[in-house]
Amino acid sequence: MPGPDSSLEEALLAQGAGAIAGVDEVGRGPLAGPVVAAAVIFDPATLPEGLNDSKKLSERKREALTALLMERCLVGIGSASVAEIDEINILRASHLAMLRAVEALPVRPDHLLIDGNMIPRDCPCPASAVIKGDARSVSIAAASIVAKSWRDKGMRDLAQQYPGYGWETNMGYPSKSHISALRDLGVTPHHRRSFKPVHNILFQEISAKP
């Protein structure tokens, strides 16, 4: 399958849209850490080469592209905390992070291209949901790269405060070593208590208390 291109953005420009932002989030699946989203408005003349779905790029490539995107594009970053994920559920928290990323942009977009099959409620401007958008749209691909780089850095920082869970490599996802550490070391303030593996361990801890 070919990589993302700018055909979706070009179609919107032809219809009269000005600023078009690609929006994507990272971190729905982990047991720990926030969900992070990015919104990117790019200038075709300065767009870095090599944009693709962030999962298909090496960490080094993502970080290099993120530095270029932050320099050459308009970028907004938003997140939803573990407490918010537990309170409103991961889907709504993901949408909240997306809306915060759009709000963080220095200009208000005319249209959003949002990865996935749903448009968040209370969207501040017209928007289109794009299934597998990070493989189809360069602006969504750019947003996925920035969001993943930003979240990965945050998880590496947390790993230094909470060693033993392997967050510097698993980024909070439910790897075998993470699950094992969760059982051995217990639940941290950065674990999502509404997620079943964490909830079950927490419930066992509470039940075991005299």
Q: Measure the CA–CA gap between 75 and 71, rounded to whole angstroms.
A: 9
Binding-site positions read 24-25, 115
Burial 41-73 (b: 16+ CB within 10 A, else e): bbeeeebbeebbbbeebeeeebebbbebbbeeb
Q: Known binding site for a divalent metal cation: residues? A: 24-25, 115
